[in-house]
């Protein structure tokens, strides 16, 4: 039984909500609460490791647990990116290059050792650890790219979101109308939805005079958590219906056998 969700439209909507929440929650901890980037990274990476350990020890897909890990990689990625840029003074561009190289190393190792980069049929702990490592670095890379587009490129929050949305649109077109590897397109889309979440997060939290909606990190995080929670509840109900439908024939068979014996 796979421990990962189906890759559907719902998945991508939840991914954008989760990564945007990761952006706002990471900023809430590091800036609003003034914990600092280094300490925030330590705290959020610890949360990521805890949720990951629980996920690795589960025996099936749990929507709430899965998205908890996704959020923790997003928040950890936000503070890790900010730490690389501001504390280590690498800048968003240099940080993006380092993170991209790290992600390519992980995916290359995955491909050479497992021979399959499937993101649906993952059943072993080794492959799942590679999957989550790639998720963490892709989210951190997405944060750095999003901040670069919003702050250093001159596009601003809205322009950055528009550019990333256009690129995601091209990936969708390629998915349906080209022979490009679906796995390759998945990872491109996964990386691009992170900077989209980062720019949307900035758009929600920044003041009006900076082009944002001025909801603040607390208000934005609360709204996003509620939206994501609704989707998670929907996913749990859908999964339960699927599981009940899967075992129903077994019950019918057992019932008929008992009637036959009677």
Q: Within 10 A of 136 (CB to CB), how many other CB atoms are there?
A: 24
Nearest Cα neighbor of 70 from 11, 124, 116, 123 is 11
Which pLDDT score is estimated for 248?
A: 59
Terminal CA-to-CA distance of the chain, rounded, Å? 35
User: Under a CB-based contact definition with an 8 Å cutoff, are residues 81 and 26 in contact?
Assistant: no
Which pLDDT score is estimated for 256?
A: 58
Residues of the chain with pLDDT under 50: none
SS (H, E, C) 149-171: HHHHCCCHHHHHHHHHHHHHHHH
Alpha-helix residue ranges (DSSP H) falling in the chain: 9-27, 37-56, 63-82, 91-114, 125-147, 156-177, 182-205, 216-261
Which pLDDT score is estimated for 109?
A: 94
User: Under a CB-based contact definition with an 8 Å cutoff, are residues 51 and 72 in contact?
Assistant: yes
Which pLDDT score is estimated for 75?
A: 80
CA 201 to CA 220: how far, in whole Å?
Answer: 8
Which pLDDT score is estimated for 232?
A: 93
CA atoms within a 13 Å half-sphere pointing along the CA-CB vector of 51: 23
User: Under a CB-based contact definition with an 8 Å cutoff, are residues 211 and 203 in contact?
Assistant: yes
pLDDT digits (tens, 9 = 90+) for 90-102: 888 888 889 889 9
pLDDT digits (tens, 9 = 90+) for 18-70: 988 877 887 787 777 788 767 877 888 888 899 999 999 988 889 999 999 99
CA 107 to CA 76: how far, in whole Å?
Answer: 20
């Amino acid at each position: 039984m796979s421990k990962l969700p189906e890759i559907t439209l719902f998945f991508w909507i939840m991914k954008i909500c989760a990564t945007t929440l990761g952006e706002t929650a990471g900023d809430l901890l590091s800036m609003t609460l003034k914990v600092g980037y280094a300490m925030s990274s330590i705290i959020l990476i610890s949360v990521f490791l805890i949720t990951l350990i629980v996920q690795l020890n589960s025996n099936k897909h749990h929507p709430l647990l899965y998205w908890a890990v996704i959020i923790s990689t997003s928040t950890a990625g936000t503070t890790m990116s900010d730490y690389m840029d501001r504390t280590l003074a690498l800048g968003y561009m240099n940080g993006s290059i380092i993170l991209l190289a790290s992600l390519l190393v992980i995916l290359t190792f995955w491909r050479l050792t497992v021979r399959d980069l499937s993101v649906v049929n993952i059943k072993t702990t080794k492959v799942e650890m590679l999957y989550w490592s790639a998720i963490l670095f892709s989210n951190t890379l997405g944060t750095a790219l999003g901040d670069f587009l919003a702050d250093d490129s001159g596009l601003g929050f809205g322009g950055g979101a528009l550019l990333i949305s256009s690129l995601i649109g091209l990936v969708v077109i390629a998915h349906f109308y080209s022979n490009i590897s679906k796995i390759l397109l998945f990872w491109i889309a996964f990386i691009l939805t992170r900077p989209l979440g980062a720019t949307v997060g900035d758009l929600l939290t920044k003041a009006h005079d900076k082009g944002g909606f001025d909801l603040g990190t607390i208000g934005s995080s609360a709204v996003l958590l509620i939206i994501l929670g609704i989707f998670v509840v929907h996913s749990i109900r859908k999964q339960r219906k699927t599981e009940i439908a899967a075992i129903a024939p077994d019950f019918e068979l057992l019932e008929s056998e008992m009637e036959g014996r009677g």
